[in-house]
């Protein structure tokens, strides 16, 4: 894994001014981004989110998933906490890419669930790789993380790649009539830790 830091700049947002850090992954050609907010005191536990790209949810307001809502809430939580980070990883569609995700959505429109759709296309349910996280966090001086996630596989992957997650903070937001079935599949087939309250919310 060869991650190279390229440049930083300010990123003003509705939740405050973050600093944006750009990284190049020479193995995959992907351009990953980190956002940081406030003072990241060395050796303190830093609140953060490791977010996989979802063009449809993050940028196009899609209600098919919960990604955009999670990203927004994570940025708000970090701003409220006074410090934190987001790693925005360019692994669209759980690693299958945007066009294959559209193919998968087409199969879901015809009745497949999110896991079956990936499998029909010849992909595993989740092809993501998190090896870039440790060098990105090292560059930012972050050694201990309180991670906003519902995904136990992401926690296991962090453990494997040497990221010290000392606590998990659930991030259950964005349920709506279009994604309820999808969220249930994430809980039932992908093991996401979601409480029943999440499904009862309006
Ligand atoms: N292949 C595929 N990818 C999807 C689908 N819906 C969302 N995604 C992608 O899933 C990724 C987000 O993964 P999730 O499993 O929703 O959540 P997570 O980030 O692993 O877990 P949390 O930290 O709890 O949010 C993004 O890359 C999305 O583009 C889908 O139906 N099919
Ligand atoms: Zn999404």
Pocket test for ligand 1, best of 57, 93, 102, 153 (most atoms within 8 A of CB): 93
Query: Whose CA is closest to atom 24 on ligand 1?
Result: 150
* The predicted structure's pLDDT at residue 194: 79
Query: Which band of pLDDT confidence, cut at 50, 70 and 90, is reported for residue 176?
Result: confident
Query: Whole-prediction pTM value?
Result: 0.94
| Domain 3-91+128-200 fold | Rossmann fold (3.40.50)
Query: 3-state DSSP call for residue 13?
Result: strand
Query: 3-state DSSP call for residue 73?
Result: helix
Q: Are strands 165-169 and 144-148 parallel, antiparallel or unpaired?
A: parallel
If we measure between CA atoms, which residue out of 45, 55, 65 comes closest to residue 148? 45
The mean pLDDT value for 45-66 works out to 97
160 pLDDT above the threshold of 90: yes
Cβ neighbours for 89, distance < 8 A, ≥ 6 positions apart = 32, 50, 51, 52, 53, 128, 130, 132, 133
| Measured distance CA(107)–CA(159) in Å, rounded | 34
The mean pLDDT value for 10-23 works out to 98
Query: Which band of pLDDT confidence, cut at 50, 70 and 90, is reported for residue 202?
Result: very low
Query: Whose CA is closest to atom 9 on ligand 1?
Result: 93
* The predicted structure's pLDDT at residue 198: 63
Binding residues for Zn(2+): 54, 65, 67
The mean pLDDT value for 40-53 works out to 96
Query: Whose CA is closest to atom 8 on ligand 1?
Result: 93
* The predicted structure's pLDDT at residue 187: 77
**C-alpha dihedral (134, 138, 141, 143), degrees to nearest 10:** 50
Structural domain spans, the chain: 3-91+128-200
* The predicted structure's pLDDT at residue 200: 54
Supply angle C-alpha 176, 60, 156, rounded to 5.
70
Query: Whose CA is closest to atom 12 on ligand 1?
Result: 52
Pocket test for ligand 1, best of 49, 65, 133, 193 (most atoms within 8 A of CB): 65
Nearest ligand to the C-alpha of residue 101? 1
What mean pLDDT, rounded, does the chain reach? 93
R_g over Cα of the chain: 17
Cβ neighbours for 172, distance < 8 A, ≥ 6 positions apart = 150, 194, 195, 198
* The predicted structure's pLDDT at residue 199: 60
User: What distances in angstroms separate CA 81 from CA 18, 70, 103, 161, one per listed residue?
Assistant: 13, 16, 39, 26
pLDDT digits (tens, 9 = 90+) for 78-128: 999 999 999 999 999 999 999 999 999 999 999 999 899 999 999 998 899
- Edge-first strand order for the sheet with 3-13 is 3-13, 16-25, 31-37, 84-89, 45-52, 144-148, 165-169
Active site residues: 126, 128
The mean pLDDT value for 152-163 works out to 96
Residues framing ligand 1 (Cβ under 6 A): 52-54, 65, 67, 70, 91-94, 96, 101, 104, 114, 118, 149-151, 154, 171, 186, 192
């Amino acid at each position: 894994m060869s991650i190279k830091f390229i440049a930083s700049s300010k990123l003003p947002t509705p939740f405050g001014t973050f600093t944006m850090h750009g990284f190049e992954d020479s193995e995959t050609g992907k351009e990953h981004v980190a956002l940081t907010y406030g003072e990241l005191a060395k050796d303190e536990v830093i609140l953060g989110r490791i977010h996989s790209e979802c063009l449809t949810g993050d940028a196009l307001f899609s209600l098919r998933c919960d990604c955009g809502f999670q990203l927004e809430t994570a940025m708000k939580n970090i701003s409220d906490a006074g410090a934190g980070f987001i790693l925005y990883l360019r692994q669209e569609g759980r690693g299958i890419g945007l066009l294959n995700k559209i193919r998968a959505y087409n199969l879901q429109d015809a009745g497949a669930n999110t896991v079956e759709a990936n499998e029909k296309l010849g992909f595993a349910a989740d092809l993501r790789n998190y090896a870039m996280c440790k060098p990105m966090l090292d560059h930012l001086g972050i050694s201990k993380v309180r991670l906003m996630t519902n995904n136990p596989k992401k926690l296991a992957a962090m453990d494997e790649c040497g990221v010290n997650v000392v606590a998990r903070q659930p991030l259950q937001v964005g349920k709506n009539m279009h994604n309820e079935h999808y969220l249930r599949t994430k809980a039932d087939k992908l093991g996401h830790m979601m409480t029943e309250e999440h499904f009862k919310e309006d």
